[in-house]
Amino acid sequence: MGRIAVFGTQEINRDGHLYIGGIDTNDLAGEFGTPLYVYDTALIKDKINQFKKAFDKHEGLNWQIAYASKAFSTLAMIQLVNEQGLSLDVVSGGELFTALKAGMDPERIHFHGNNKSESELAMALDARIGAVIVDNRDELELLERMCTERDQQIAILLRVTPGIEAHTHEFIMTGQDDSKFGFNLANGTAQQAVKQALQAAHLQLIGIHAHIGSQIFETNGFTGAIRVMLKHVNQWTRELGFALNVLNVGGGFGIRYTEKDRPLPITSYIDAIVETAEEECARYRLPMPALWIEPGRSIVGEAGTSLYTVGAAKTIPGIRNYLSIDGGMADNIRPSLYQAEYQAICANRALEPKTNKVAIAGKCCESGDILIKELMLPETCSSGDLLAVFSTGAYGYSMASHYNRIANPAVVFVENGEATLVVRRESYEDLIRCDVPLKNLSPNI
Ligand SMILES: *Cc1c(COP(=O)(O)O)cnc(C)c1O
């Protein structure tokens, strides 16, 4: 049909319409309404395969990819992840519940978080999940006590802070760690935890974990963390008889939001991680552990596109043109929360010259609800047109709120010309479903 490829399965047709998964986004908006989250599931599977291939290249290596479900957790997404054979990270009872409901193999579920409650841990133990990533001493003691009472064994990893913090374009080593997560390596807290875990009869300490940041575009944060971790592991092996079976280096692999973002190929991250771990293990004569990673954003981020209908336009001469859309910070908090930047196009006028500089404003009662500060759009893009915002697949739906009592949008998966509704749009009734009125409601509506 002579469409122009954009990204993943995104294409621009000759009529200027954006297609995803072989479907016209204008038809998707017509059928499912806007705002709408559209996921290109072929691209999700492609990303998963890139990670798998990158590991497969390293023969004899034992590895696991755990999708960090906080990036985007729904029954359908977990089913897809389970089907692809990935493991899964959960950070709360709610994420664990979703995973179990979706039929995720409990063996492949890993439970994270810095303040897991007793009832959340009980849920994890009842389900016999694969591993708990223990964050602090209180949790270590609570878990051992619970497992003793139940006479149940559980595999654990200890989360450590290697004193390395990765930022978007650099990483820094901090002398004094200041993090709410994990056991500090530098001040001996981690060593103490290892000692304690080794003595806990019901806990099998299989490894250590670090997650150094997110949207990382370099490998040196990962390799630096591995060097620091294995240096300590060497000491614990000699002094405490610790055996490292699993080295978990977390997630944080960067993605492309705008053309300013230049993520490395997935193989570059994995090669650097594997090679550094092998080098350091050889240096200390340690057996090579299994390598686990936890990508979230890099699995789903680029696969998601948000569709909005353009509404009111306002021009402040000499200052700014505003175009308002029917969504905003309620369905995508990232611009207001961390000045995140996005790229977007007019999905029904994608081939018209982009001559109008606009700000894309959300509909919430916050001046900060600006989805995109500066975007070039066709002069003609106006009320009733369709706006497609790219790379909204991670931390969009999962961070959505009901601010201004805005109902959460629907989510559709698209592939090979087929659209599947995986989350229905919330209704007004959904919005008040947990409300308990003070008196009998008069039937106004
Ligand atoms: C958030 C998080 C991840 C995933 O991070 P991404 O940037 O989405 O890849 C992985 N592991 C842990 C422990 C996390 O908190």
Query: Residue 346 belongs to a domain with what CATH number?
Result: 2.40.37.10
Q: Is 124 part of any domain? A: yes
What average pLDDT does the segment 274-301 reach? 98
pLDDT for the residue numbered 170: 66
Q: Which CATH number characterizes residue 149's domain?
A: 3.20.20.10
Residues 273 and 334 in one domain: no
pLDDT in tens, 291-311: 999 999 999 999 999 999 999
Residues 287 and 331 in one domain: no
The residue contributing the CA closest to ligand 1 atom 10 is 251
pLDDT for the residue numbered 339: 94
Extract the annotated binding site for pyridoxal 5'-phosphate: 252, 294-297, 395
**DSSP string covering 147-163:** HHHHT--EEEEEEEE-S
Percent pLDDT > 70 in the chain is 97
Window from 18-22, 65-69, 300-304, 317-321 with minimum mean pLDDT: 317-321
Tokens of 389: 């915002």
From the CB of 113, is ligand 1 less than 6 Å away? Answer: no
Tokens of 146: 């619970």
From the CB of 304, is ligand 1 less than 6 Å away? Answer: no
pLDDT for the residue numbered 192: 97
pTM value is: 0.96
- Whether residue 174 has pLDDT greater than 70: no
pLDDT for the residue numbered 91: 98
CA–CA gap between residue 374 and residue 51 (Å, rounded): 34
The residue contributing the CA closest to ligand 1 atom 7 is 252
Q: Is 216 part of any domain? A: yes
Residues 141 and 272 in one domain: yes
Q: Is 232 part of any domain? A: yes
Query: In the chain, how many domains are there?
Result: 2
Extract the annotated binding site for substrate: 297, 334, 338, 366, 395
Task: Give Cα 234 distance to the centre of its chain.
Answer: 32
Ligand 1, closest atom to CA 209?
A: 13
Q: Which element (helix H / strand E) includes 89?
A: strand 87-90
Residues 100 and 246 in one domain: yes
Q: Is 445 part of any domain? A: no
- Whether residue 75 has pLDDT greater than 80: yes
From the CB of 110, is ligand 1 less than 6 Å away? Answer: no
Query: Of 300, 331, 348, which residue constitutes the final position of a domain?
Result: 300
Q: Is 438 part of any domain? A: no
Q: Which amino acids are annotated catalytic?
A: 365
CA–CA gap between residue 157 and residue 269 (Å, rounded): 22
Q: Which of 214, 266, 334 to mutate to test the pocket of ligand 1 (most atoms within 8 A of CB)?
A: 214
**Residue 407 structural domain:** 2-33+303-431
pLDDT in tens, 317-339: 999 999 999 999 999 999 999 89
How many C-beta neighbours within 10 Å does residue 266 have?
Answer: 19
Q: Which of 116, 133, 159, 211 to mutate to test the pocket of ligand 1 (most atoms within 8 A of CB)?
A: 211
